[in-house]
Amino acid sequence: MNTKTLMVLGLFVALLATVLYIKYTTKPTQPASLSLPGFLEDPKVATKSSGEVKLNGLTKIVIERKGVTTVLERDGETWRMKAPKESKVEEFRIRTMMLPLQTPSESQFSKSVVESELADYGLAKDERIKVEYYRDSALLGSFIAGKKESDDDLESGPDNVDTWVLAADEQTIFLVGGKDLNSPFDVSPSDLRAKKLFDFERDQIRRVEIRNPANETHPEIVLEDKAPPPAPDAKEGEDKESARVAKWVFVKPEGFEAGTIDALAGTIAGVRVSEYLDSVEGKDTGLSANPTVVRAELFDGKTFELKLGNTEGEKTYAMLGDGDEVFALNKYTADSLKKTVNDLRQKNVLSFQGPDIQSVRFETSGFGLVRSGEEWIFDPANAYKVGKTEIEALLRDIETWTVSEFAEPLELEAKGLGPAAPATRIVFRTSRGDVRLTIGEERDGSHWAQSDTKPDEIWKVTSFMAKKFVGKTADDFRNKQIFDLVKDDIDKVEVISAAESYVIERNPASTGTDTPFLAKRGTEIVDKPKEQALNTMLNSLTNLQARTFVGDMTREEAGLTETAFRVLVTMKSGTTHELLISESTKENDNYAIATSEVDWAQQIVTINQFQAKNIMTKFKDLK
C-alpha cells in the first residue's frame, strides 16, 4: 500500500469518526414551548361556566375541520356565521367553545415528530382542527388541535384534560395542560347554526294558513286572530291586567268554532330545526310536489312560510317557502303543524258555564239536581242535602268536559248510541234551553257521545271524561261532610271504648306556644300531649266525610252497638256531637254513624280507614 492510499484512508477514518462523535455526543435542539393568549382583556372575569363566558374581547373565530372552513363573526351584539353559509348561530355554542381560551394556555411538554407520527396524536390532516381567534381585525391566537389526553378517572373535570397541539412547522407538537382544545371545536357548521327557525313570537301571529293536499276533506285551513294586536311593548307571556286574549276564528272552512289555537301559534313560532342537511341527493324529500305548507302572517304584515315534505324515520324534510335549503324537523314537531279542522275545533262541546246551568237531570238513573237560590236540591225531593263540594265539582266537570275526536253519525248502534242502546242520557237545562247528551257504553277503551243540538256529528270521548257523568247515582252528590266543626271551637273530646276511656280537654295552664289541650285517663294526666297525634285526631274529626252510604244493614249487623268505639265532642257553645265507629269494615273502610246529627242519625256510612284510625287514637300515643 503506497503513501497516497494510506493518506486517503486516514482522512476517511477521521471523517467517519467525526460524524459518529457528533451523532452520539451532541444533544438535539429542544423544540420551543407554546403559549396561546387568552381573549379576555381582564382575566379576573374568567368563569368555569360556559353560560357565563364574556365574549366582549372577540370579533371573529375561524375553524377548519374536515375540509370545511367555518367563519363566525360578531354582528353588533350577536354572532353570525359567514361561511360556509350565512346564518344565525347559537351563541351558547360559541361560549362553550371559547371557555378554555378565556385565559392564556401554556404547553407542558414538546417533541419533534415526523409526518407519519401525526396520526398517533390526532393530528393527521383529516383529523386535526385548526382554530384562529381575532380581536378587532387582528389575529389574537391560533393553534392546530389534536386528540385530548385524560386520566382514567370518570369523574375527572375539564381541568384534568390535556390536548396535543401542532406547531405551524408541522414538525413539533406540544401538550397543552389542563385544557380541552379539541372537543369544543369538534362541531359541524350545522351544530353551530341557530335552530330556532323564526324570530317572531306567538302573540305576533295574526293569521295562519295550512294547505295539506293529503287532507281530502279540508285541504286548506285558514284561521285569523280577531283580537286587537298586542301593544308594542308587550312581552310574550307577560302577566298583566290588560293581558291580551287571542280570539281565533275559522275563515276557511266556515261553520266551525275554533278551539285553543294559541298552542298551534306557539308551535309555529317555536319551530326548531333538528338538523341542517349537507346534502339530500338521492333522497325523496317530497318538497317539490304538493308538500304541506304552513304560512303565518304577523300583525305587522310580514309573512313566513314553511314547507313540510316526507318523513324518514324520526325526521321530516322541510324548507322555507322562499328558500332552497332542505333541513330536517323532528317528526313530532312536523306532525304538530299538520293540523286538521277537527284538531283545531273547540273540544269543549257543551260550551256553557256553571252559573248558566239551572238543572242537571240524569235520566238513566232517575234523579236530577235543581238550582234553588244559592243552593241545590234533589229532584224528586228527598231527605238528603246536596253536598256543596259535590255540586261544585260537577259544575267544574261540565265546564271543562271535552271530546277527543269528531265523526259523522254513522253506525250509531255499534257505537252504543242507538235508540235502544243502554246509554247514559243527561239533560242540562240552561238559560238558552235544554241540551240532551247521550254517552254510549265503552268500546275499545273509549266512548262515543252525541248532543241533540248537533245531530250531524258524534264525538269520541275518553273513559276519563265519560266517567264524569256515566254511572252516577244520587249518592254521588249527597253531602258527605258529617260534622260542621271548627277545631278551635272544640272544648272537650271524650273517647270511650271497650279497651279504655280518656278525655281531651282545654288546659287552663297552656300558653300561646303550647298545645291548648291536655289528656286525662283516670288520675293520669298528660299536660302536653304529642302535638302531631292530637292534631291528626282533631283534624280527622272536623274533616270527617262519608265514603259510602250503607242502606242494607242494621246497626247491629254493622257492629254499631253500645260496645262500639264512641267519641263525644263538646264545643265551647255547649253543643255535643257523637260518633260511633265499628271495628267491622267494608273494603277496609270502617262502618260508622253520627247519632247526634239530624241528617246522619239514621244513616250508616263507611269512613276512610285512615281517618278512623286517627280518631281511634290510643291514650299511650298521646304521651
pLDDT tens digits for range 532-559: 999 999 999 999 999 999 999 999 999 9
pLDDT band (50, 70, 90) for residue 19: very low
Comparing CA positions, the residue from 538, 516, 546, 528 lying closest to residue 617 is 538
Contact 616/581 with Cβ under 8 angstroms?
yes
Over the range 368-388, which residues count as b (16 or more CB within 10 Å of their CB) and which as e?
Answer: bbbbeeeebbbeeeeebbbbe
pLDDT band (50, 70, 90) for residue 411: confident
Residue 372's domain comprises: 354-477
pLDDT band (50, 70, 90) for residue 279: confident
Residues 51 and 182 grouped into a single domain: yes
pLDDT tens-place string over residues 361-376: 999 999 999 999 999 9
- Residue 30 located in a structural domain: no
Residue 214 burial (10 A CB sphere; 0-12, 13-18, 19+): exposed
Place of cell 467525526: 18
Residues 332 and 383 grouped into a single domain: no
Residues 450 and 303 grouped into a single domain: no
pLDDT at 31: 57
pLDDT band (50, 70, 90) for residue 32: confident
pLDDT at 617: 95
Residues 173 and 110 grouped into a single domain: yes
- Residue 599 located in a structural domain: yes
Place of cell 324515520: 313
Comparing CA positions, the residue from 225, 214, 209 lying closest to residue 305 is 209
**Grid cell of 361 as nine digits:** 237531570
pLDDT at 28: 44
Distance CA 478, CA 376 (A): 11
Residues 41 and 183 grouped into a single domain: yes
Distance CA 392, CA 400 (A): 12
Average pLDDT, the chain: 90
Q: CB under 8 Å to 189, separation ≥6 — which residues?
A: 68, 70, 81, 84, 85, 87, 276
- Residue 7 located in a structural domain: no
Q: What is the DSSP code (8-state) at residue 161?
A: E
Contact 98/133 with Cβ under 8 angstroms?
yes
pLDDT band (50, 70, 90) for residue 1: low
pLDDT at 169: 81
Q: Which residues are 142's β-sheet partners?
A: 132
Q: What is the phi-psi region of residue 313: left when phi exceeds 0, alpha when psi lies from -120 to 50, beta otherwise?
A: left
- Residue 184 located in a structural domain: yes
Q: CB under 8 Å to 614, separation ≥6 — which residues?
A: 536, 537, 539, 540
C-alpha distance across the termini of the chain, in Å: 124
Average pLDDT over residues 393-421: 92
Residues 182 and 216 grouped into a single domain: no
Q: Is the pLDDT of residue 86 over 80?
A: yes
- Residue 426 located in a structural domain: yes
- Residue 9 located in a structural domain: no
Contact 298/327 with Cβ under 8 angstroms?
no
**Grid cell of 284 as nine digits:** 325523496
Residue that is last in its domain, among 477, 499, 533: 477
Residue that is last in its domain, among 322, 344, 366: 344
Residues 236 and 165 grouped into a single domain: no
pLDDT band (50, 70, 90) for residue 420: confident
- Residue 578 located in a structural domain: yes
* Chain length of the chain: 623
Residue that is last in its domain, among 147, 165, 192: 192
Residues 60 and 156 grouped into a single domain: yes
Residue 43 exposure: Cα atoms within 13 Å on the Cβ side: 7
Using alpha carbons only, give the angle 404, 267, 202 rounded to the nearest 5 degrees: 115
Residues 72 and 157 grouped into a single domain: yes
Highest mean pLDDT among 90-94, 232-236, 301-305, 351-355: 301-305
- Report the domain count for the chain: 4
Q: Is the pLDDT of residue 51 over 90?
A: no
Residues 468 and 382 grouped into a single domain: yes
Residues 413 and 472 grouped into a single domain: yes
Residues 44 and 141 grouped into a single domain: yes
Distance CA 387, CA 477 (A): 6
The secondary element (H helix, E strand) that includes residue 134 is: strand 129-135
Cβ atoms within 10 Å, residue 491: 16
Backbone φ and ψ for 354, nearest 5 degrees, come out as -50, -50
- Residue 399 located in a structural domain: yes
Question: For residue 364, what is the domain's CATH number?
Answer: 2.60.40
pLDDT band (50, 70, 90) for residue 525: very high
pLDDT at 12: 57
pLDDT tens-place string over residues 108-123: 989 999 999 999 999 9
